[in-house]
Structure 1
Amino acid sequence: MLRSILFKKLEQKEHEMIAHYEHLHQYPEPSFEEKQTSQYVASFYRNKNVQLHTRIGGQYGLIAVIEGNKPGRTIALRADFDALNIKEETGLPFESKHEGWMHACGHDAHTAYLMVLAECLIEMKDSLPGKVVIIHQHAEELAPGGAIDMLDSGLLNDVDEIYGIHLFPDYTPDVISYRKGPTMGGRSLFKLHIKGKGGHGSSPHLANDAIMAASTFVTNVQTVVSRRLNPFEMGVVTISSFNGLGSLNVIQENVELAGDVRYMESHTGHKIHQEVIDMIKGIEETFNVRCNFEYELDCIPLINHDIQTDYIVDTLATSQGEYFNSLVEHGPLTSSEDFASYLMKIPGSFFFVGCKPYGVEEAYFNHSPKFVVNKDAMLVASKALGEIVLSRLNKA
């Protein structure tokens, strides 16, 4: 049986996953600048019986196509490999050698387990129907995101279904979780520059205070969520930067704000956008200031396809108690993921494997400088994706 052959190969190569993970963890690179990472992954595939496409869209993403020996469907699997501008505080013996940069989201582990899973599938290709498309994606963390480059390349035009996994420390590796429909939030980024009229602190009537206008915006923008959205809609507006530094006795003329907006449905994001624009017009009139507002769509909501998610549940339910113990339905996540772009064009599903260290009551979450991956999660993830791809290749 192909499944048992694949699982045996993955178990025998688990040490390779760990070695790739530890190497990648030491050399994190920013989004759109993953040159060494891309070269490392490309060198892994170069002497293997696979079609390798590099520098997708002029960036550092790669696609490896595994051609089976029989007619069948085309299934894509995706992992990302960019890092974050975070100074690592894990104390791991293989911690980051690139000061100020860290694999704090698990992308190093994603890449490691997909590389080894791909290697096993390449070794089995003469027994496989159809094609498996392995996507090693750059720039998941930074807009506009590397998924767009992958889709624009045309190399995914014949893909029938696509699947991906993210490692999250909400569970230990014995738990796999899934969700149908809206699963991860969309995100928009904004910047607001408020220009007033500067003046002396003793004479506020002769100035138009940009700090007062900005402070009012910070307070009032929260009412967009609490008073303008349906209570059953999910929306979050966060002010992440407020720059109005100046002297003690000077009324500031210029203030700059920045922040982000999260939502589970695209129409909610559009509504928040329009409400904020209307609020800014009111701020201008009330405080006699001028505003320059920039609003950028960073990531659309991730909406899993019901049918493909059902395939995941049906397939993994037969393995529950074997290499993992629990298959659970996950709640919606307000974090964003550009796998959403694939799902806009290709039927598929994105699900989760726990990577919480054993014996820890509450783990540091993704994007923390102390985030640590439980290495057992990689074998679980590779088996889960492996049996899904074998199952879906055979379906008409």
Structure 2
Amino acid sequence: MVSTSLSPLPVDISRIRREIQELQPTIVELRRRLHQKPELGFREHLTSELISQKLQEWGIEHQTGIAQTGIVATIHGDKPGKVLAIRADMDALPIQEQNDVPYRSQHDGVMHACGHDGHTAIALSTAFYLSQHRQDFTGTVKIIFQPAEEGPGGAKPMIEAGVLQNPQVDAIVGLHLWNNLPLGTVGVRNGALMAATESFRCTIQGKGGHGAIPQQTVDSILVAAHIVTALQTIVARNVSPLESAVVTVGEIHAGTAVNVIADTAYLSGTVRYFNPALGELIPQRLEQIIAGVCQSHGATYKLDYQRHYPAVINDAKIAELVRSVAEGVIETPLGIVPECQTMGGEDMSFFLEAIPGCYFFLGSANPDKDLAYPHHHPRFNFDETALGMGVEIFVRLVEKFCALKS
């Protein structure tokens, strides 16, 4: 991932059309209403109600109750043509907000700490603008309001429910407000943008006993310690240095007393990678290492390996379209960041496996306003100037995509 300064940039909003600049206060109001009522995955009932209420008020055709709380709005241009989907996630995180702002979360222990309230406000405002300017684009736009991105994942059940059908979607785009980039930047690239996310949980079964008589035992803590160390050789010695991958043990539990050798130890962790080919190598080597260490110490194990989201891999043609549009909206010294990547994961990947598309980052950090805390932090917040930029980019993508020849 390219390192960029989070110093505030001189942002010129003159490239944002007047109607969208005038819409900015409404976008901010929508975002703040959503921020006050955050909801966890598949529980976004108030969020869905607000979205549906606004779409109905604006006369926009939509379906509710998809994959429990998901919504799809459909907007037709004046003439038939291609179908572009815009995806926005709606869910929040189980975090107690620490921001002292008038619109802080009213739901104890739940917070929009990743910008999904902004994504929803941008998509909803895009729907409004397009519904008022149908003469400016051909074809159809489907705006997908998706639940449960933070887990357990709402993209796949929405696809299974048919959101990419009737009419058949030709391509899909989505954005993530990104506090790792300063306001006035866009991170877009062809190929892998975000990593596949997988996890493992392992129970080591040894033989407990007295801490002073170790020869009578099989020390599960010792076995687990060897496993934790050995797992680091997967990335160091089995993955090419030119590839990116992570194997992290984030949790380990064992033991009850200082003079007792524990008979069981529990450890869990996460696996991340960009190259889909590593999806077979890493879990295979992980189990081989666990099995080998356990056998050498006389222990046994139970391993549960879970695949969550595949890597977010952008289509070259749609990524180039996003880049060209962003260059027409964003005018700062840094501008477009073409090699922006993260080992974080996103279930937008399931949409990108199904159809061509592009997911991109919209810089939203502004340290001068104390708006640069990282994602999932209890003080996460972003510069709301980015909201209008997001709408402008989506609108231009619709207009440009629908005008493309097959």
Percent identical among aligned pairs is: 32
Q: By how many angstroms is 1:221 displaced?
A: 0.6
175, 180, 183: which one pairs with 1:170?
180
| Counterpart position of 1:294 | 304
* Closer/same/farther in 2, CA of residues 288 and 381 from structure 1, 3 Å limit: same
Counting only pairs closer than 5 Å after superposition, residues 316-335 of structure 1 correspond to structure 2 as 316-321=326-331, 326-335=335-344
CA contact (8 A) 1:31 1:83 kept: yes
> For residues 317 and 284 of structure 1, what CA distance do their matches in structure 2 show?
55
Question: Which residue matches 2:20?
Answer: 10
DSSP 3-state at the match of 1:166 = strand
Q: Structure 2 CA distance, aligned partners of 1:387 and 1:88?
A: 34
Equivalences for 1:53-132 in 2 at 5 Å? 53-57=63-67, 59-132=68-141
Q: Over aligned residues, Cα RMSD in angstroms?
A: 2.0
Say if 1:32 and 1:60, in contact at 8 Å, map to a contact too.
yes
Number of aligned residue pairs: 390
The secondary structure found in structure 1 opposite 2:180 is coil
After TM superposition, the score normalised by the length of structure 2 is: 0.91
Structure-2 separation of matches of 1:196 and 1:325: 56
CA distance in 2, matches of 1:215, 1:103: 37
CA-CA distance at 1:202 after TM superposition? 1.3
1:78 is displaced (CA, Å) by 0.9
Q: What's 1:212 paired with?
A: 222
Pick from 233, 243, 247: which aligns with 1:223? 233
Unmatched segments (≥5 aa) in structure 1: none
One-letter code of the match for 2:273? Answer: Y
Distance (whole Å) between structure 2 residues aligned to residue 293 and residue 267 of structure 1 = 22
- How far the C-alpha of 1:6 sits from its partner, in A, is 8.8
2:371–2:383 contact (8 Å) kept in structure 1? no
Among residues 145, 163, 168, which one is paired with 1:155 in the alignment?
163
Mapped contact 2:206–2:264 kept (Cα < 8 A): yes
Residue 324 (structure 1) shift: 9.4
The answer to whether 1:203 aligns with 2:213 is yes
Give 1:333 shift: 1.3
Partners of 2:391 and 2:255 lie apart in 1 by 50
CA deviation vs aligned residue, 1:47-92 (integer Å, no higher than 9, x gap): 33322111113x2111001122211111111110111112222222
- 1:101 maps to a residue whose letter is V
Deviates more, 1:352-361 or 1:60-69: 352-361
* Distance in 1 between residues matched to 2:15 and 2:52, nearest whole Å: 26
Structure 2 gap ranges (5+): 1-13
CA distance 1:378–1:10, change in 2 (3 Å): same
1:239 equivalent among 245, 249, 254:
249
Contact map agreement 1:197 1:207 (CA 8 A) in 2: yes
